[in-house]
Structure 1
Amino acid sequence: MEQFLSISHIICGGTVLLLGVFQMFNRKGSKNHILLGKVYVAAMWWICLSALSIITFYRFSAFLLVIAVLTFHTSFVGVRVVNRKKPGTEKWYDWAVAIATSLFGVGLIGYGGYIFFATNNTVMAILCLGFGLLTLKNGTDDLRFFIKPTISEKHWWLYQHIGAMGGSYIAALTAFAVQNPNIFMPNSANQWLLWIIPGVIGAPLIAIALRRWKKKLTAGGATV
């Protein structure tokens, strides 16, 4: 079972990396985009489930736990926001995922504190603190929106969809980079940078994509 989980985890990871690139250039809203998007999300969710199974039954890994939660949350929000374009239509599972994500963020922050004071692994402690704060922010942002929706743009759900799916792809790239550090930074003492480089590069690209979509929709040059 462990071998099956590991192999299927790798296969789905490769599927996500390839489809993510293709979807970036695929026409948004087309049947092809929707179909491949479903395959992308299914592969993402199996990555999360297989990672959690490996952590629970075979070996604990803070890395896998972090990536699994962040990946699931971003891909889940990316799917759900398209189905709840009207504020106030959240389901109980939207609340559950937001609360669980927030609690996990708090736990990861606490784990980072434990590592800092109980071990000499300062780098891992800082990473846990940073990713914990990010995870907590993601969850609480959802909760604040559910409690008091603030809509300032007509196509807010599309922008959130793009941001969330882009974030899930950054999480997948981070997973690949951290699991294979010698491919990118062979024998380097700074391989910890692979935890943050995908986000540092990917976040501005997502921001650029959002600006372009806002410009197209404002000018009436695109439909959704």
Structure 2
Amino acid sequence: MLILCHALFGGIALLSGFVSLIVEKGKIIHKKTGKLFYFSMLLSAFTALIISVLPGHENPFLFSIGVFSSYFILTGYRALRFKTKKYNLKTDKIISWIMVITAILMILYNPLVNQKINIVLIVFGIVGLSFSMRDLVLFNKTDKLKKDWLKLHLGKMIGGYICAVTAFVVVNEFFSSFYGWFIPGIIGGFYIVYWIRKLNKKQKVSIAVEKE
């Protein structure tokens, strides 16, 4: 039953996330599909966490991927709060520290415990560690948080969608298992860079207008 719920929520996240990506940002349909994506993806990730610790189904790999996905979704959605200066960062710091610890375990667990190298876990661990450490640094720069809230929101939410697409690609074996874990991330990474550059240009234009 849990596996079915996990797949159902994942499917909803995949579709709603796609709509949210292609429609004009900030419009009602973007906000509604974005919220649907957020909650469905979060439920999918949480069910994965539960499944991974059930007796007879213990799976550290699935658990770490569940934490990884949850981190991007939670922090991406919570970045919307940074538009204002009235917010408490306690929960955000806890989420980021959980990701830091999980990322370190993702990198070190297999080499230390199983004497094996798991490239997927290492790469995902490095990505999770770099993002979460950057978060912790930014939390000490509230002015920058307010300035870059949209970049953080888009970057993290797209990261969450990459997780959904990756799961879909891997489960359905569109590519060999190894490549399936990385191709969505590479493509999605370029998409994130595109949006960050676009937002940077808008910021430069607005600053220039203000100076005039």
- Fold shared by both chains (TM-score > 0.5): yes
Structure 1: distance between partners of 2:109 and 2:151: 33
Instruction: Show the 5 A alignment for 1:55-204.
Output: 55-58=52-55, 59-86=57-84, 89-114=87-112, 117=115, 119=116, 122=117, 125-149=118-142, 151=144, 155-181=147-173, 184-185=174-175, 190-204=176-190
* Contact residue 85 and residue 146 of structure 2 kept, 8 A: no
1:44 maps to 2:41: yes
Contact 1:113 1:129 in 2 (8 A): no
Relative distance call for 1:147 and 1:209 in structure 2 (3 A) is closer
Consecutive unaligned residues of structure 1, counting only runs of 5 or more, are none
Q: Distance in 1 between the 2:84 and 2:99 partners?
A: 23
CA contact (8 A) 1:75 1:165 kept: yes
- How many Å separate the matches in 2 of 1:22 and 1:63? 29
Could you tell me how far apart the structure 1 residues matched to 2:133 and 2:15 are? 31
Q: Is the alpha carbon distance of 1:154 and 1:42 closer, same or farther for their aligned partners in structure 2, counting shifts above 3 Å?
A: closer
Structure 2 contact 45–67 (Cα < 8 Å) conserved: yes
Question: What CA deviation, in whole Å up to 9, does each residue of 1:106-158 have, x standing for no partner?
Answer: 111121313662x5xx4xx222222222222222111111134572x974111
- For residues 88 and 109 of structure 1, what CA distance do their matches in structure 2 show? 36
Retained in 1: the 8 A contact 2:83–2:149? yes
Contact 1:88 1:146 (C-alpha < 8 Å) held by counterparts: no
Tell me the distance in 2 between the aligned counterparts of 1:111 and 1:89.
35
1:147 is paired with a residue of what secondary structure? coil
Is contact 2:99-2:132 (8 Å) kept?
yes
1:11 and 2:8 are equivalent in the alignment: yes
Q: Deviations over 1:29-58 (max 9, x none)?
A: 222221221111110110111001101114
CA distance in 2, matches of 1:201, 1:112: 27
Normalization by structure 2: what TM-score?
A: 0.86
User: How far did 1:96 drift?
Assistant: 1.0
Q: Is the 8 A contact 2:23 2:30 kept in 1?
A: yes
Assess if the C-alpha contact under 8 Å between 2:19 and 2:33 holds in 1. no
Q: Which structure 2 segments of 5+ residues have no match?
A: 207-212
Give 1:195's aligned amino acid.
W
Normalising by structure 1, what TM-score? 0.82
